[in-house]
Structure 1
Amino acid sequence: MRSKKSQTVLARLKQITGTKSDASLSSALKVSPQTLSSWKGRDSTPYSLCVEIAQARGISLDWLLLGEGPVLRLSTAGNASEQTQETITRENTILAMWRLLNEEDRNAIQHALEEKRRLREMELKLSEMASILSTLQQLRET
């Protein structure tokens, strides 16, 4: 993505990753600080990275790139029909409560949610590794 508004895209990336500094953003994006610095210097943020993050986090690409519309991606017609009314009501309640929070509390909650997601990913990897180790031990014993 090439635009004079690349700095605002990076600011929105900080917002959705719950980071405040360039160093913490580069860590959250899994790029080197030098890479992030070069993006800033060129006033360019990779479009593919923005798409990947938007998809992974359910963020609206319009909001991330342009600052327009809702932050969260709206459900497609197919997904909306699969959701139960209870789920929709719960999401709307959470969203309403979210809007009442100050920015510091939002960042804290977002950070906790991201940490929870990372822990789940690590637990899954650990489980996979334990399964592989068990299989290797069984092969070694035979």
Structure 2
Amino acid sequence: MNKENPVDTNIVLRKLKISLNANTDIQLAELLNVKPNTISTWKKRNSLDFNAVISICHTHGIDLNELFYNDGNHLTSNHS
């Protein structure tokens, strides 16, 4: 993690994929309305477009606290 992004992007994206039933980064990119290489860039830079993530969470009823702060282990058994 860096000082600009206090969350682990890889974990957030993994939990977001589970919550949205997206099996691949390409599917996640389509849902977020970004190019597939954007997901790769976010992972490399440990950065996110927080507005895009928050917007899709709002649209799909995803709890932001669960996404950003909890470890998300419980999501794998409920949404896989």
Q: Same fold (TM over 0.5)?
A: yes
Unaligned 5+ runs, structure 2? 72-76
Report what 1:24 is aligned to.
27
Report what 1:35 is aligned to.
38
Deviations 1:60-104 (A, max 9, x none): 111111126xxxxxxxxxxxxxxxxxxxxxxxxxxxxxxxxx55x
1:54 to 54, 57, 76: 57
Please state which structure has a larger fraction of its residues in helix: 1
- Whether the aligned pair in 1 keeps the contact of 2:32 and 2:53 (CA below 8 Å) is no
Segments ≥4 residues shifted beyond 4 Å: none
Instruction: Kindly state the Cα deviation for residue 22 of structure 1 after the two structures are TM-superposed.
Output: 1.2
- Whether the aligned pair in 2 keeps the contact of 1:51 and 1:61 (CA below 8 Å) is yes
Q: Could you tell me how far apart the structure 1 residues matched to 2:61 and 2:27 are? A: 21
Please tell me whether residue 9 in structure 1 is matched to residue 12 in structure 2. Answer: yes
Q: Could you tell me how far apart the structure 1 residues matched to 2:33 and 2:57 are? A: 15
Deviations 1:97-119 (A, max 9, x none): xxxxx55xx45xxxxxxxxxxxx
Residue identity in the other structure for 1:33: P
Deviations 1:1-54 (A, max 9, x none): 713511100001101110121122112222101111111111111221222122
Give the aligned CA root-mean-square deviation in angstroms.
2.5
- Whether the aligned pair in 2 keeps the contact of 1:12 and 1:64 (CA below 8 Å) is yes
Identity of aligned residues (%): 28
Instruction: Kindly state the Cα deviation for residue 55 of structure 1 after the two structures are TM-superposed.
Output: 1.2
Query: Which fold has the larger relative contact order, with Cα–Cα distance below 8 Å and residues 6 or more apart in sequence?
Result: 2
Q: How many residues align?
A: 74
Unaligned 5+ runs, structure 1? 69-101, 108-142
